[in-house]
Structure 1
Amino acid sequence: MKYSTKLKVLTVALASALGGVPAAYAEDAVAVASADKSPHTLSTNIGFFTDYTFRGISLARERGAVQGGIDYSHSSGFYLGAWATNMNKDAFYGNTVELDIYGGYVHTLAEDLSLNLGFLQYFYPDGDRPVSGTGIKGANPNTTEINAALSYKYFTLKHSYALTNLFGVNDGYGGNGNSRGSGYTELNVNYKLPIYDVNLALHVGRQTVHNYSQASYTDWLVGVNKDFSIAGSAGWNAGLNYTTTNASDSWYVDARGWETGNDRFIGYIKRTF
């Protein structure tokens, strides 16, 4: 779910790269192998964030998150990766760890124009414990999404579609039936500013939850980040994001009354190897 952003070497989307933005953006962090070298590319990444925010919703409760992943890509356009993060136990039924497996295919349609078709599987090892302090118990939060993204220069338009219940929302959680068929549509802009080699990240996304209109919302993000080296060691990136949502405070709230969709700043530093 890397909305907190997973590192983005492939300019497709969000990604984690929006640094701290979202969860699910891991599949956008794949580096495409160069045709004049080996057709295979393997990279790893690790990052430290002041919060894990997925689609504008805080899943670490602003207590910090360590995130890392491994990505493989082939010069043909196929890619596969895995990514993990810690999270607050009140976010998803007592789970403290999220593991994402993702893959797909990137095809160049024209100069600066590409199409990315992929899948993303979210795993929560602790399953579906009742929500802390409540009697609420949804389905297992493990979720499968398929997605399609169209990228042109520094713009990426992406849609994700849930093949399963969306993070455990079902009759046992909300009483209105299953949430299969939920969708998330987002527009991302990643642009290098002409000053100090600073990158500008802009994002807007719309989460719709099938059968649960009260859980649907829009999120926004604006951030800046910079690539740099330390003692000749490249691959570093640090930044600051501001994110906010119009999510319902009655739906996106934990057992202690903490509203998870409120606006916040997210700082981070990460490195790709």
Structure 2
Amino acid sequence: MHKRSLIAFAALCAAASFAHAEAPPASGLSYNIGAVTDYRYRGLSQSARKPALQGGIDYAGAGGWYAGAWASTIRWIKDSSIPAGPQAKGPVEIDLYGGYKGTIGHDLSYDVGALQYWYVGNTLKDVTTQNANTFEVYGALTYKLFTAKYSHSLTDLFGAPGSKGSGYLDLSASIDLGDGYSLTPHAGWQRIKGFGTYMDYSLTGTKDLGYGLSASVAVVGSNWKDHFGAPFMLPGSGTKDLGRANLVAGIKVTF
């Protein structure tokens, strides 16, 4: 895999689970806006380990259908550029998604849908010849506290050439600790077709502060360095290892 294309892919795949698009409400519209100290997706930083602003809108129909959009500021496209070469632009990620949720019996539920990662006005193709925009389909099963979700790319994955058909397995649990506290452990495996598979992990604690306001703290990281033999760094972010374990804090209001 070309080094610049690998950079384009790896910088995008990073996440604390609370930082990304959420499940829609039981019915109707909801909105959320917030900020995190580092936008992580699939274990790797999208914001050069700097703060990011985020927000979204969700619609859920009574029959189980849902749709939504979620956005975040990012730095990975800009930071993918070599300082002495052409400079890529693309400061915003917008995720457009929709699907269907239902139940099987009393304790088992499912969720199937599709997700378009859209980097508005990005010029990554001018620098790496690859398109950053990515389309995935997904399916998830939840049994009581536990969820298993698989996402499959129908396009090349975040600018990695020949990576169409890559997959991501996400295992998580949602633990209610009482008094508005919850804990979410997560482990994920990203298979990059033609390159390899790495693991990411997170442990997120969330506190419901009332009036739609919540705060969260997470430990998020990946085994990128151990698996591939070198830390993940981008030209524009200097010597920062964007895949190492880090503490991520966030605050969000939903209305």
Q: Is the 8 A contact 1:60 1:87 kept in 2?
A: yes
Q: What secondary structure, in the 3-state scheme, does the structure 2 residue paired with 1:19 have?
A: helix
Does residue 201 of structure 1 match 2:184?
A: yes
Q: Percent identity among equivalent residues?
A: 36
In the alignment, what sits opposite 1:210?
A: 193
The alpha-carbon deviation at position 125 of structure 1 amounts to: 1.6
Q: 1:222 to 1:91 in 2, by over 3 A?
A: farther
Distance 2:33 2:239 in 1: 31
Q: Is the 8 A contact 1:244 1:263 kept in 2?
A: yes
The alpha-carbon deviation at position 138 of structure 1 amounts to: 4.2
Whichever structure has more helix as a proportion of its residues is 2
The alpha-carbon deviation at position 91 of structure 1 amounts to: 5.5
Residue of 24, 30, 34 corresponding to 1:43: 30
Q: Is the 8 A contact 1:249 1:259 kept in 2?
A: no
In the alignment, what sits opposite 1:159?
A: 150
5 Å-filtered alignment, 1:1-273, equals 4=15, 18-20=17-19, 23=20, 26=21, 28-33=22-27, 41-88=28-75, 89-90=78-79, 93-129=88-124, 137-170=128-161, 178-194=162-178, 196-213=179-196, 216-229=197-210, 234-247=211-224, 248=228, 250=230, 252-255=232-235, 256-273=238-255
The one of the two structures with greater contact order (alpha-carbon pairs below 8 A, sep at least 6) is 2
The alpha-carbon deviation at position 94 of structure 1 amounts to: 3.2
CA offsets, 1:111-167, max 9 Å, x none?
131110010000012334379xxxx61411000000000011221100000000000
Distance 1:2 1:268 in 2: 19
Letter in 2 for 1:29: A
Letter in 1 for 2:199: T
CA offsets, 1:199-222, max 9 Å, x none?
011000000000112xx2101101
Distance 1:140 1:100 in 2: 15
Q: 1:199 to 1:91 in 2, by over 3 A?
A: farther
Distance 1:95 1:251 in 2: 24
Q: 1:197 to 1:44 in 2, by over 3 A?
A: closer
The normalised TM-score by structure 1 is 0.79
Instruction: Report the number of matched residues.
Output: 231
Gaps of 5+ in 2: 1-11, 82-87
Distance 2:186 2:104 in 1: 24
Letter in 2 for 1:146: V
Q: Is the 8 A contact 2:60 2:66 kept in 1?
A: yes
Following TM superposition, where does structure 1 have runs of at least 4 consecutive aligned residues deviating by more than 2 angstroms?
1-5, 91-94, 126-131, 248-252
The normalised TM-score by structure 2 is 0.84
Gaps of 5+ in 1: 6-17, 34-40, 171-177
